[in-house]
Copies of this chain bind each other. A is one copy, B any other.
Amino acid sequence: MQMSNRFPRTRRDVGGDLTRAHALLVQAGLIRQVSPGIWTLLPDGWKVLRNIHQIVFDMMESVGVQNVQLPILQSCDLWEQSGRWQKYIDTKTMFTTSEYHYDAEYGLAPTAEEVVSFTVAGEIESWRDLPVILHQIGPKFRDEIRPRLGLLRGREFYMSDAYSFDRDEEGMRASYQKMKELYPRIYERLGIHKLQAVEASSGDIGGKGSVEFMALNEEVGEDLLMACDECSYGANTEVSAGNVGDVCHECKIGTFKEVRGIEIGHVFQLQQTYSKSMRVTFRDENDTEQFAWMGCYGIGTSRLIQAIVDQNHDDDGIVWPESVAPMFAHIVPVNWKDETQRALAQELYAACQDANIRTMIDDREESAGLKFKDADLLGYPYRIVVGRDAGKGLVEVRNRKTGDVENLAKEHVVKWLKERAPQ
């Protein structure tokens, strides 16, 4: 991609009282608000979300979870069967719509326990068909009374949601444990370095036993947590029995401190609540009809874009983790009017394209200072500066995160980048 064609332009000043991560997403041109809590993801924002989704899909498949796509328009009939239609109407959290021609009512996916239960109920017959875990990623809708904080609290957002179906309580616990262990690995790959798993209450979803995953964030963390300063134990303040300074009742060594975080995931043991109301049954070894034991598992993927930037930036701009970076390399010719520099920059750009390395080239006739400022703001992992040594075929490669600089002969650049690029 050429910087001169990049949509949109970067912005210096975004005004308003935005948090740092939110401001960076606007300045670097990743998101634009269309209506309160409703966003367009611009090219870099789109690519980061795609990368997040690909990593989540791959890691789900790596533990035997099967990916599907459930519908957004969910029939009122299904929600009445589970008893949640009126509840969601009363709390004014679900958007609803009507089919004109036959007056059918639909809710717009806030979550998918009903639809996935209906789908699984139609396919499983015997205990041999279990366990099964289905996972999807798609837009979700919640009628937030006060959308705010950029991608953190929106009316339309992306969520990864998985649902496990097991033969018995022991099976449900095993599926739950598998997902609970997978989540931190997903977050780590996405660049969430400060993570806290906390015991939580289950809210509207129902069931017993749930853990929230929080990206720690002192600036805008919406949730207050009690976390042990020694072991990994933590709890939502609604749940925790302890106070600041109390000795941790898990490890008996550390003491509780208060931290703030953004919820980026939640895993639940649903027991048989939905399988009973939605009649998700199977035949056991004795040919007796049984209700499945369910769990559900959610990751907020669009809010993760902002949580990742929050944990990966410096004073100059975003510092994308390589795993989710929208582009991998950023070629900056110091002086675009200099024929030697321009030719070398274009040669390297073509070579990167051929090697399938996502690369930006700054082809603008702007000052080097402005181009470096933009490169810092956009935060692609490796910057290739083509300057006065261009005539000797030498360029400078700079690591956005560490600031480390290496001088490389032009013929080594692609190989050097390839060795560092994510698979």
Contact = CB atoms under 8 A, between A and B. Distances in A.
Contact of A67 (B39, B46, B132, B145): B46
A83 interface: no
B101 A108 contact: no
Nearest to A32: B119
Q: Give the one of A6, A68, A118 with max B CB within 10 A.
A: A68
A97 B108 contact: yes
A33 to B, nearest CB: 10
A40 B122 CA distance: 12
Interface string A363-403: 00000000000000000000000000000000000000000
A286 interface: no
A208 interface: no
B69 A41 contact: yes
A407 interface: no
A229 interface: no
Interface of A: 1, 4-9, 32, 34-36, 38-43, 45-47, 49-50, 57, 64, 66-75, 78, 92, 95-101, 104, 106, 108, 115, 118-119, 122-123, 125, 128-129, 132, 134, 136, 138-139, 141, 143, 145, 155-156
B72 A139 contact: yes
Contacts of A145: 101
A43 B106 CA distance: 24
A75 B34 contact: yes
B129 A40 contact: no
A7 B66 contact: yes
Contacts of A40: 68-71, 115, 119
Contacts of A38: 71, 73, 75
A32 B1 CA distance: 40
Contacts of A95: 73, 97-99, 106
A67 B69 CA distance: 21
Contacts of A136: 46
A96 B106 CA distance: 11
Nearest to A353: B62
B42 A68 contact: yes
Contacts of A66: 1, 5-7, 43
Given A32-B119, A97-B97, A134 B69 contact: no
B118 A73 contact: no
A125 B35 CA distance: 22
Nearest to A132: B7
Name the 7 nearest CB pairs between A and B, nearest first: A8-B123, A41-B69, A92-B100, A95-B97, A43-B66, A35-B75, A97-B97
